[in-house]
Structure 1
């Protein structure tokens, strides 16, 4: 029987057949994601954790995390060991010595949301040190709080139907990649982004793509491609603003009534502050786009309804706050913020839900309780925390101190995918006294744990599926029984809570089915869909009423032209922030500023590492999930992740498509397979994230599979946000001449006896 499921990459039905798991995309989805072909690999027992395991060296006092073997143990023994460690640490060091790690992408379900489950459990036992912000837009969240007062440019940007109808010129910094629009946190029942873009193009909208990668916009959109030197978008944005003001094409009234600090910003743009006008000629020397092209682009955006789109990728780099701030300033200088189809948005194309009107009501959600521990870190600073307990650091105007973490508990997510400088993260993960992990697969995170609990996948349990940007609540029916001895995160935590004498507090006397019914019925009291839980479960799906699709970011500016409606100190968009300026951060001044990242201190094409590596999200999987699935595996060459390189750069190095190369940086190295393509800018190579980290042959490379975070630096965007900087690195690429070492990612590290 085919049963309905929802995933981060779409809704589908699935059933077991003699040939294996058959997955069928929802027929109502206009543009189903090819990633659905990866789903059957979730049941591949060769890479699954099929029983509780304990690291052999942890039991006998020898061995090292990341290099050790594991021995299977009974559930009773694993629960006793894990509960004992949790109890020991909280009694001897306090709950702040427990770090609760999760990244929220483990499942699209509302109940079996791993992040909610681990937080609920750790709160029940007394709390934990948590993380804030994200790897995806870690620089954006703190900055937006200061300059617009909220994350509305991410969570409530102008809706896609408005853009499709009204925008005349899309200026896409970082593009609107079709591959990223395949996925959405919490699930997606209908993929609509490509259709909206096509409608805009058919209506006559023009597109300008500003990216080192030509395919960051679909070819059918006929975009003009401008390929600046990676990491120089801020300089280009500043030059565009300079042209608009110098030639009188700026919106003086809008800057006066709805922005704060333009005079300070103009002192910098004009060169009065530092003697350097941020002119097109100045920008040409930095970004490699000629000044005439910059002036022409400025004239085009000034004479058309223009949407300045700012990809999340822009801020995943050193001083990433500046690209976002400069892009918002550019839109303000144009003065179209609040007009249908004009202004700016942050994250279009970064997820399928960005630009969809969020549901105007809450969804069924597992209560997490209250965390009495006040300690937290910016999420991308985990290695710093583990390596430097007690060290002071600065974040968003505060001087903070890293807590002394003795136990890491991770459920849902793979930090050895998200984090940078994986050799450093490996060292960091060896510092705590205990690491406990839930994982369906033998990922690098599981291989750095002391206790590994086998977790089920979404196919092996029941759940409620919906995202706040979607219009369907889906009954996610279990497709297959749990593999091996796998249990859901909820069942694992229930057993641990029981062992610690807190079972009732965690479960509230409910099993999975009763929790699903409870969450649904609680939600139904606030929003009655006309079906009780049993009826809903039988029907399989409820179409949800959403808000109107005519949402325009800051349209209230036009309704009340003299009002100051934003929750900022001035009530306006802050082009100069007195509060940020008061922090005294040289790496994040009080207005948008061109700061030279370390990657550009040596001119492009020179030095030991002449190439720029762009490490972007993959088009063949979600992050590192199901890297062994069909769509992901078919993209590899010789089982290695493909590295795209421009023909000229390949020729100068004597490389051909299919060659195995060693990518080297000042941080580390990785093996990958060459794909020659003129869709990348000369001087740029591109390697997607998500290949399972394989450090099994360190004498050859830090990662022999092709994980770019083996070569990226682990440093924050600035002291303001301390966000992730993994998007760009300087590297060199050389043919790998020695025999190719075998991959170990598909070989479970289980002791033979």
Structure 2
């Protein structure tokens, strides 16, 4: 960051990180506009008579401490909910909430997810952990398959590696119901039916087995469950699989050639097939295909998702538990409620009921399903605290809103899911207005609750206590403070044939129950875009009316014209939108950008039903069906 007269005038990617390569994504390029936005919250706010009024930090913290003490005394520790997701993934923002609630004796927490959780659970099950090949290894690939992933929009720093690999002769295939930006640069786009990923993976596996002729030795020596897996494959018929996945025999043959005849094939898995009821099974079926075709543990291969391992020591948690007990804190086991059903689970919680919620690094009203229900549930609680940078849809449901710092105003460290570097989060400027870090807020609340000094506001002290495992790799905190340092992670995971599973082997999926016939209507497909992240959109950037993208033939069938106002109707709600023709959209899907628009911060998730995936679980966003009606209907 470049600072002049106390103001950040520009910022750029660190040139010492070979992955980000000295450029920022679109969101990063526009971040200073967000940082200095007049919409940003810079003072604590308390709801009074239905409106928010600015108050001092002392008044806000005193009220929070009072409500926490009162609620927990009357109803017990589990009556308080801490709700957090991926708004910040820096180390202290992951660690300090846990330490805070340890000192309060426990609480109810949210688990499961809204994003990668089914795919992550599948990787942990099959491989024992989530690891990915170093991006440079794409130069060893003859084929690259992006299955349900659109890195041109969601992982732009991978694109230079992809383009270099393509120039080197690698052929790119995109498997995705929609013609994404990544599909535009691909050699082949397979626009399968929504949710058809499992059927396609089985069809390709059957063809690969035929081409193999005999069983590879490694499927038994390095894998568990081969017999059950192949018996499952044998129960299906090719033509039925083609029909259910809505693919051709030629498309299946193309993928079989990529995985077997012209190895190695690198597969990059994304959220697309993750957001279904069978999201975990879809992922596991693709893993099994990748493994038995010989594309695991080899240069140019891999089942690449994210590197999800936490490089920091967690023993600090045990140390703080011991300190809390010394202070007389009685610890209870946390109660967990599921993100996919968050509104419902808050509402139905008993023994004790949830009376108080603290939401941070998450905007569930906009990002979780059934937005209207979530709004109602939060407003019915006795007390809601939200730490935020902007007055989001969730913040509008709060009794107290606390202004929190951004990464440009706090000291921390962060490890990426997409590359092997751990890097610093160094404050470039002091906090704007009265914004404060989560660590500072937690510390001051505990001080008011008779736990003075339990959480000192010393970020580097907390971080240094958690750096042991990195120190063992020869990575010091002083090195990381200066810039990103590469962790000791394998460039090619599982090259030694060892997997950190219970039996040390890859785990084949034993069965697949398939998918029921789709209900009437169109699939409301979750779409990611490059210009903003989920609900992080300034009101000045929001449109007045959302746009719904439909296949031109679908519009003809409905008698809808370009730009015409229509209703998008689900079982839960309906939205007014402007119809737009898109020949990139299959006739059986509907595309809407997953954010809010002016005067409606709940956004498209007002339509989405609370449905969970099989593993994780995550929200099965793509299971929601909608119908389109002319505005006059």
| CA–CA distance in structure 2, aligned partners of residues 243 and 528 of structure 1 | 44
| CA–CA distance in structure 2, aligned partners of residues 407 and 532 of structure 1 | 37
| Residues 660, 457 of structure 1: alpha-carbon distance in 2 compared, 3 angstrom cutoff | farther
Partner residue of 1:202?
A: 167
> Is 1:383 matched with 2:346?
no
**Structure 1 contact 38–626 (Cα < 8 Å) conserved:** no
> Is 1:105 matched with 2:65?
no
Partner residue of 2:219?
A: 255
Give the superposition deviation at 1:93: 1.7
> Is 1:601 matched with 2:512?
no
Give the superposition deviation at 1:439: 1.3
> Is 1:242 matched with 2:206?
yes
**Structure 2 contact 410–437 (Cα < 8 Å) conserved:** no
Partner residue of 2:40?
A: 48
Partner residue of 2:30?
A: 38
Indicate the SS of the match to 1:195.
helix
Deviates more, 1:666-675 or 1:225-234: 666-675
| Residues 639, 39 of structure 1: alpha-carbon distance in 2 compared, 3 angstrom cutoff | farther
TM-score by length of structure 2 reads: 0.87
Partner residue of 1:123?
A: 102
Give the superposition deviation at 1:140: 3.1
Partner residue of 2:325?
A: none
| Residues 243, 100 of structure 1: alpha-carbon distance in 2 compared, 3 angstrom cutoff | same
| CA–CA distance in structure 1, aligned partners of residues 258 and 224 of structure 2 | 26
Give the superposition deviation at 1:91: 1.4
1:454 is aligned, of 380, 403, 408, to 403
Residue correspondence of structure 1 range 468-617 to structure 2 within 5 A: 468=416, 469=419, 471=421, 473-474=423-424, 476-479=426-429, 481-483=431-433, 485-507=434-456, 511=457, 514-516=458-460, 519=463, 523=467, 526=471, 541-547=482-488, 551-557=491-497, 565-576=498-509, 591-597=510-516, 600-602=517-519, 607=520, 609=521, 611-617=522-528
Partner residue of 1:151?
A: 129
| Residues 515, 223 of structure 1: alpha-carbon distance in 2 compared, 3 angstrom cutoff | same
> Is 1:729 matched with 2:624?
yes
| CA–CA distance in structure 1, aligned partners of residues 558 and 8 of structure 2 | 44
Partner residue of 1:338?
A: 297
> Is 1:315 matched with 2:274?
yes
Indicate the SS of the match to 1:504.
coil
| CA–CA distance in structure 1, aligned partners of residues 288 and 64 of structure 2 | 51
Spell out, residue by residue over 1:130-169, the C-alpha distance to the aligned partner (whole angstroms, 9 max, x if none). 2334322222344444433x222xxx2222212x222112
Indicate the SS of the match to 1:405.
coil
| Residues 307, 481 of structure 1: alpha-carbon distance in 2 compared, 3 angstrom cutoff | closer
2:68 is aligned, of 86, 93, 114, to 86
| CA–CA distance in structure 2, aligned partners of residues 640 and 181 of structure 1 | 28
Partner residue of 2:10?
A: 23
Give the superposition deviation at 1:343: 4.1
**Structure 1 contact 364–523 (Cα < 8 Å) conserved:** no
Partner residue of 1:701?
A: none
Listed as ranges, the gaps of 5+ residues in structure 2 are 16-20, 322-330
TM-score by length of structure 1 reads: 0.74
> Is 1:649 matched with 2:554?
yes
**Structure 1 contact 124–506 (Cα < 8 Å) conserved:** no
| CA–CA distance in structure 1, aligned partners of residues 617 and 466 of structure 2 | 38
Give the superposition deviation at 1:296: 4.2
Give the superposition deviation at 1:236: 0.9
| Residues 687, 136 of structure 1: alpha-carbon distance in 2 compared, 3 angstrom cutoff | same
Give the superposition deviation at 1:646: 2.4
**Structure 1 contact 99–405 (Cα < 8 Å) conserved:** yes
> Is 1:160 matched with 2:135?
yes
| CA–CA distance in structure 1, aligned partners of residues 413 and 10 of structure 2 | 17
| CA–CA distance in structure 2, aligned partners of residues 261 and 101 of structure 1 | 38
Give the superposition deviation at 1:386: 0.9
Indicate the SS of the match to 1:556.
coil
Listed as ranges, the gaps of 5+ residues in structure 1 are 5-12, 58-67, 183-190, 272-277, 348-352, 391-401, 558-564, 577-590, 697-703, 739-753
Spell out, residue by residue over 1:526-548, the C-alpha distance to the aligned partner (whole angstroms, 9 max, x if none). 37999996xx89xx733524437
2:595 is aligned, of 687, 690, 703, to 690
**Structure 2 contact 392–601 (Cα < 8 Å) conserved:** no
| CA–CA distance in structure 2, aligned partners of residues 237 and 621 of structure 1 | 32
| Residues 682, 403 of structure 1: alpha-carbon distance in 2 compared, 3 angstrom cutoff | farther
| Residues 502, 266 of structure 1: alpha-carbon distance in 2 compared, 3 angstrom cutoff | same
**Structure 1 contact 331–337 (Cα < 8 Å) conserved:** yes
Partner residue of 1:620?
A: 531
| CA–CA distance in structure 2, aligned partners of residues 136 and 475 of structure 1 | 24
Partner residue of 2:544?
A: 639
**Structure 1 contact 529–542 (Cα < 8 Å) conserved:** no
Give the superposition deviation at 1:37: 3.9
Deviates more, 1:223-232 or 1:45-54: 45-54
In proportion to residue count, which structure has more helix?
2
Partner residue of 1:279?
A: 237
| CA–CA distance in structure 2, aligned partners of residues 364 and 641 of structure 1 | 44
| CA–CA distance in structure 1, aligned partners of residues 81 and 602 of structure 2 | 29
**Structure 1 contact 168–206 (Cα < 8 Å) conserved:** yes
| Residues 338, 478 of structure 1: alpha-carbon distance in 2 compared, 3 angstrom cutoff | closer
Q: Over the residues paired in the alignment, what is the CA RMSD in angstroms?
A: 3.4
| CA–CA distance in structure 1, aligned partners of residues 545 and 64 of structure 2 | 36
**Structure 2 contact 13–23 (Cα < 8 Å) conserved:** no
| CA–CA distance in structure 1, aligned partners of residues 210 and 428 of structure 2 | 63
| Residues 289, 309 of structure 1: alpha-carbon distance in 2 compared, 3 angstrom cutoff | same
Partner residue of 1:303?
A: 261
| CA–CA distance in structure 2, aligned partners of residues 569 and 281 of structure 1 | 37
Partner residue of 1:288?
A: 246
| CA–CA distance in structure 1, aligned partners of residues 175 and 423 of structure 2 | 37
**Structure 2 contact 551–581 (Cα < 8 Å) conserved:** yes
Spell out, residue by residue over 1:338-392, the C-alpha distance to the aligned partner (whole angstroms, 9 max, x if none). 2212242235xxxxx78xxx89x649999694474332233333223212124xx
> Is 1:265 matched with 2:225?
no
2:193 is aligned, of 205, 229, 233, to 229
| CA–CA distance in structure 1, aligned partners of residues 455 and 294 of structure 2 | 52
| CA–CA distance in structure 2, aligned partners of residues 365 and 660 of structure 1 | 57
> Is 1:680 matched with 2:575?
no
Give the superposition deviation at 1:716: 1.4
Give the superposition deviation at 1:52: 2.5
| Residues 250, 46 of structure 1: alpha-carbon distance in 2 compared, 3 angstrom cutoff | farther
Give the superposition deviation at 1:504: 0.8
**Structure 2 contact 365–372 (Cα < 8 Å) conserved:** no
